[in-house]
Amino acid sequence: MANARVRGIYSTALTKLLLDSGFKVVQPSLVMKERFGVEEDREPPDLEISDRPDRQGVKALGKADAIEKFISILKKFLSDAILRKGTVSAGGIYKGIVKKIDPKHHVALIDIGSAFGALQLDEAPNIRLGDILIQVDRNYARAKVPALTTKISILGNYAILISDGHVRVSRKILDRNSRDRLCKLGEELKTEWGILWRTAAENQPPDVLRSEIAYLMEKGKIIKERAERLKAPSLVYEGRYYLDAEFPALSKKKLDAIRSSITPTIPGHHYYKACGGNIASAVDMAEKLLSMGHPLKEVEDLFLQTVTTEFPIEDSTVTIEHVKLDGRVFHLGKALVETYDRDKSIITLRRTFETNGIYDGFETPKETGDYAITEIKVNEWYVKTQYFSRDGRQKGIYINVNTPVELYPTRIRYVDLEIDICVFPNGEIKILDEKKLEEQVEKGTITIDLLHATRSKLNDILESLGKPSSLKVN
């Protein structure tokens, strides 16, 4: 049984899924203890889950098997989840090859097999081209060029061996007697390795801690032997892996339903919590009323009256947040809200271009003064943009197929599903990037269900344009 620690706005729904799938929840918050009846457990987690900074999903760090199990759970229950697993082992120890030394930028570029990483020259001023034993800094494992260190550490349940020879105690252990006891034990046990006692060590008997240190030191010996034996570049010791899980509109709604089976939940809970600020606070107030027995319809109406003023109105401006499947975010400039039909959830935006360029898909010039009229329906699977010249001549229609559109207080947001449709002024229709989405299924970034839903929506769009698609929805 794997241990999981969960925090953030998605914690109730994800805890439910994890418990139902055989995970054990450790270090639970007070709220989770009350909602699920779980007891205090200070065991270290195999999987740590917390909110992304933008609240559009979660980030997870865990052992390889725990991450894979979590991915399978998300794919099973959240059909439109976007799953970006890191290729580099966070905290992994590699036998790499120094390929380039760059004194100007104070780094060495090192090939570790699955990526190239950067080592600060301050750590290894006498570094030379060739083999080197390094570790991926777990705090920077997701960077395009992961940060590396020569200060090797080995992670255990209760302690971390560190190659600097010092003894330390987790800052989360506040009891002075516990800190003193662990420091004394660490001084007794350390050899060429230093010891950092983890939070979970506080209540463990000395014999358990001694056994762990002996085990970790033996592991350190094995790592050194493996490093001598393996050919670079190679992974010598597996650390943990990152997962970035993005939850578009449908995932948020499914998580709402799961959460509502545990505790009073207002419709749109996770979407509104992702808005942050006053809207997120209003969610807490509304759900407190629900827990007190107030009728859902009454509370929802009051909630919507409270938050409506936070959202865009006609003549306001918004940003179009165009998210790629690999996680890159493109802001398509400020757009003026020309019309907003709240009953139909349809928004018309206008953008005027101030620089020259080329229109994607059309290969026709974009000129200063051209403008775009974008029609967006909230929760629809596509965004339709018409391009015009300064004098109003249409240059083409671009239809972007994406996850259902979400409207936030200052932005429109969706994840681009790679497939686009170009409609030329002469009526010609061209489909772009049909195969890219299939590649994302093979990589594990999206589910097969999302591929099928996207193809189905593409067929609907093409039929509305009078051109049935040859794509099959299997």
pTM: predicted TM-score of the whole model, two decimal places? 0.88
Strands laid side by side in the 47-51 sheet: 24-25, 3-6, 47-51, 57-62, 241-246, 82-85
Q: CA 37 to CA 326: how far, in whole Å? A: 38
Start and end residues for every CATH 2.40.380.10 domain found in the chain: 317-464
The three-state (H, E, C) secondary structure of 413-436, written as one string: EEEEEEEEEEECCCCCEEEECCCH
String of DSSP letters for 373-391? EEEEETT-SEEEEEEE-TT
Q: CA 451 to CA 424: how far, in whole Å? A: 26
Contact 136, 142 (CB under 8 A): no
Q: Provide the pLDDT for residue 468.
A: 61
As a whole-number percent, the residues of the chain with pLDDT over 90 amount to 85
Which residue in 250, 243, 241 sits closest to 81, CA to CA? 250
Task: Classify strands 346-352 and 329-341 as parallel, antiparallel or unpaired.
Answer: antiparallel
Largest CA distance in the chain: 82
Q: Provide the pLDDT for residue 474.
A: 36
Which residue in 209, 227, 337, 273 sits closest to 52, CA to CA? 273
Q: How confident is the model at residue 46 (pLDDT cuts 50, 70, 90)?
A: very high
Q: Which residue has the higher pLDDT, 124 or 401?
A: 401
pLDDT tens digits, one per residue of 170-206: 999 999 999 999 999 999 987 788 999 999 899 899 9
pLDDT tens digits, one per residue of 154-174: 989 899 999 888 899 999 999
Is the pLDDT at 88 greater than 70, yes or no? yes
Q: Provide the pLDDT for residue 333.
A: 86
Length of the chain: 474
Type and span of the H or E element at 68: helix 64-77
Which residue in 105, 7, 109, 107 sits closest to 49, CA to CA? 7
pLDDT tens digits, one per residue of 272-284: 999 999 999 999 9
Q: CA 304 to CA 282: how far, in whole Å? A: 9
Could you tell me the fold of the domain covering 317-464?
FomD barrel-like fold (2.40.380)
Is the pLDDT at 345 greater than 70, yes or no? yes
Q: Provide the pLDDT for residue 471.
A: 47
What lies within 8 Å, CB to CB, of 149 at 6+ separation is 119, 123, 134, 135, 137
Contact 147, 118 (CB under 8 A): yes
- What mean pLDDT do residues 211-218 have? 95
Q: Provide the pLDDT for residue 253.
A: 98
Q: Which residue has the higher pLDDT, 263 or 143?
A: 263
pLDDT tens digits, one per residue of 433-460: 778 899 999 999 999 999 999 999 999 9
Residue 161 phi, psi (nearest 5): -80, 135
* Long-range own/partner contacts, residues 34-40 (CB < 8 A, 24 or more apart): 35/262, 35/263, 36/262
The per-residue b/e assignment along 213-224, b for 16 or more CB within 10 angstroms, e otherwise, is beebbeebeebe
Q: Provide the pLDDT for residue 40.
A: 87
Q: CA 60 to CA 44: how far, in whole Å? A: 15
Q: What is the DSSP letter of 133?
A: E
Terminal-to-terminal C-alpha distance of the chain: 36
Is the pLDDT at 9 greater than 50, yes or no? yes
Contact 101, 127 (CB under 8 A): yes
Is the pLDDT at 385 greater than 80, yes or no? yes
Q: Provide the pLDDT for residue 439.
A: 93
Q: Provide the pLDDT for residue 469.
A: 57
Q: Which residue has the higher pLDDT, 8 or 190?
A: 8
The separation between CA 165 and the C-alpha centre of its own chain, rounded to angstroms, equals: 35
- What mean pLDDT do residues 362-389 have? 95
Average pLDDT, the chain: 93
Q: CA 402 to CA 241: how far, in whole Å? A: 28
Q: Provide the pLDDT for residue 42.
A: 81
Q: How confident is the model at residue 472 (pLDDT cuts 50, 70, 90)?
A: very low
Is the pLDDT at 356 greater than 90, yes or no? yes
